[in-house]
Amino acid sequence: MLGMAESRDTFVLVYQRPVGIRPLTEFEPADITDAMLDAIWAELLKAHDANIAHRSITAECVFLTTDDPEEPHAWLTAWELGEVAASELAVRIDRAQLVTLLATKVGAERAVESAFRALSADDVEHFAPMLQTIAMPRSTREALKDSRPVKVLETVREKILERLPDATVEAENITRFGTRTVVTLMIALVATAVVVVGFRTQDYLDALEQANPWWLLIAVGWVALTYVGASLTLIAFSPVKLPWGRVMLVQMAAAYVALAAPAGVGPAALNARMLTRRNVPGPLAVATVALIQVSAVVVTVAGLLTLTLLTGSEGTLASIPSTAILIAIGVSIVVIALALLVPRVRRWAAARVLPTLRQTWPRLSQIISQPSRLGLGLAGNAILTIGYVGAFHASLAAFGQNVPLLELAVVFFVGNTVGALVPTPGGLFAVEIALSTALQGVGLSQAVALSAVIVYRFITYWLRIPLGFVSMRYLERKGEL
């Protein structure tokens, strides 16, 4: 920077743009001389002498002049994350980042030699415990992965110990406070609020005391089946091979995420995250998750139609499309059709619908060409639905109630749809109200309907949360999420 001028609320910064420079990423290892390494260290130490730390030294932010390789000049850019009045820890991390970066470019031996030329032995020993992956910027971490099976960090420590046999180079315990940590903390805070507000202990205890414990165990077994169904669908539609055990744990972890996300959003987000962590491109992962959601809708509609045919009666379905509802549906269709005649509304609708279709259609075309995978995916969604309906039936049976299968399925689908539409964590309160109201509509008393719904939600929502928390923590430690 050459200077700065001020006028009222405006500041003008005047910079000189270096010419004849190249980023370190463009240099081959053989082209990087010791003089260049020394110039890079000199530039960093100039900042440290001014008590400024960079905090994110990567090959992309290091530039070198190329006109005179014997007397090069280095430039450090991208100071957005820099720190003035830098702490001792920030300085140590800077130096560890630089020596690691250089080791990925020219090898551990030359990188360590350059560090000893620029720093005293005490300074090298001081930053050595910072030589750990968590202290490195993202691009350097990726370079470390690409360098395997060569263990760069371990080799750098060994080279330091060759010069300083008595040095302490064991990694210190440091923690990166990144996006994943923030998201995890947010979920935990929202989860705590939901539990405090939504979990009415006495209501659940009263309902559980009245219920038949054997039917409660059967309901738990049906809920376990939902994990199998959700896992089958993801494995069938995934563009890469997924391990069965990890997929099951992801479905379990979704119960914990549901504490802070609307119904259906948590499982979709975790499925997409698992795919991207296994190097599936983001658009393809989103398309796969969208296909899972579409297949769930198809299975739901097909299930209702199948139940109607098997029972030989329209049952509850006959009472749903009353005259008033049919009129309302007709009016809605006419209004939507007229609105789509307006170009601006048509463009708005296309902007909302077409991206999803474009994402889903290529994956759907691939899956359709593999009937076995399509069948497995649809079967998984069917098992998922059967598991929840079975748990709902067992919850009612625990209070001596036996609702016809078709009516029970309709009640479940209504409650599930409401839970997906209302943006509360896990459909909390909305699902309870919808299910208890629907049960009263098929002849159950308010007390019995509410008790059965409370037991059902305890088993399918609250009881799964501790298992989901344990699963999520395990998957985070293993790098799956």
Cβ neighbours of residue 85 closer than 8 Å, sequence gap 6 or more: 51
Nearest-CA neighbor of 142 among 44, 270, 48, 279?
279
Spell out the domain ranges in the chain: 20-163, 179-477
Two structure tokens written together for 270: 């975790």
Report the pLDDT value the prediction gives residue 214, as an integer from 0 to 100.
87
- What residues does 10 pair with on adjacent strands? 7
- The C-alpha atoms of residue 443 and residue 397 are separated, in whole angstroms, by 15
Helix (H) or strand (E) holding 53: strand 52-53
Q: State how beta strands 21-23 and 62-65 pair.
A: antiparallel
What DSSP state is assigned to residue 11? E
DSSP 462: I
Which stretches of 398-464 are DSSP H helices? 405-421, 430-441, 446-457
For the chain, the first-to-last Cα distance in angstroms comes to: 42
Identify the CA nearest to 78 among candidates 63, 97, 95.
63
Asked if 238 contacts 279 with a C-beta cutoff of 8 angstroms, the reply is: no
Q: H-helix or E-strand containing 181?
A: helix 179-198
| C-alpha distance from residue 262 to each of 265, 283, 421, 437, 449 (Å) | 6, 22, 8, 21, 24
Q: Is the dihedral of CA 388, 394, 397, 398 positive or negative?
A: negative
Say how far apart CA 256 and CA 188 lie, in whole Å. Answer: 9
**Tokens 């190329």, located at residue:** 66
Q: Report residue 116 CA to chain centroid gap.
A: 42
Reduced to 3 states (helix: H, G, I; strand: E, B; else coil), residue 23 is strand
Q: Is pTM beyond 0.85 here?
A: no
Instruction: Please tell me the distance from the alpha carbon of residue 371 to that of residue 344, in angstroms, as a whole number.
Output: 40
d(Cα 377, Cα 371) in Å, to the nearest integer? Answer: 10
DSSP state of 374: H
pLDDT value of residue 315:
46
Q: Measure the CA–CA gap between 459 and 220, rounded to whole angstroms.
A: 6
Residue 369's SS3 state is coil
Q: Supply 349's token pair.
A: 């609708």
Measured CA to CA, the distance from residue 296 to residue 383 in angstroms comes to: 11
Q: Which residue carries 């928390």 as its tokens?
A: 469
Angstrom distance (rounded) from CA 423 to CA 464:
20
The three-state (H, E, C) secondary structure of 65-87, written as one string: ECCCCCCCCEEECCCCCCEECCC
Tell me which CATH code domain 20-163 carries.
1.10.510
Low-confidence ranges of the chain (pLDDT < 70): 69, 149, 172-209, 258-266, 282-283, 303-341, 345-346, 348-369, 414-430, 442, 479-481
Gap between the Cα atoms of 111 and 114, Å rounded: 5
Q: Would you state the pLDDT for residue 115?
A: 95
Read off the pLDDT of residues 238-293 as tens digits, 9 standing for 90 and up: 878 888 888 888 888 877 776 655 555 667 778 888 888 777 776 677 777 777 77
Token pair 């990423």 is at which residue?
25
Q: Which residues of 40-50 are buried (b: 16+ CB within 10 A; e: fewer)?
A: bbebbbebbee
C-alpha dist (Å) from residue 217 to 34, 392, 395, 448: 71, 12, 10, 19
How many residues are recorded in the chain? Answer: 481
Task: Please state whether beta strands 74-76 and 62-65 pair in parallel, antiparallel, or not at all (unpaired).
Answer: antiparallel
Quick check: 293 and 268 in contact, CB under 8 A? yes
Strand runs labelled E in 264-359: none
249 contacts 396 by C-beta, under 8 angstroms: no
CA 119/CA 346 separation, integer angstroms: 66
Question: Per-residue pLDDT tens for 322-360?
Answer: 444 445 445 556 666 666 667 776 676 666 656 655 555
Whether residue 243 is preceded by a cis peptide bond, meaning omega within 30 degrees of 0, is no
Distance CA(56)–CA(78), nearest Å, equals 8
Do 310 and 317 contact (CB within 8 A), yes or no? no
> Encoding tokens for residue 65?
């002049």
Cα radius of gyration (the chain) = 31
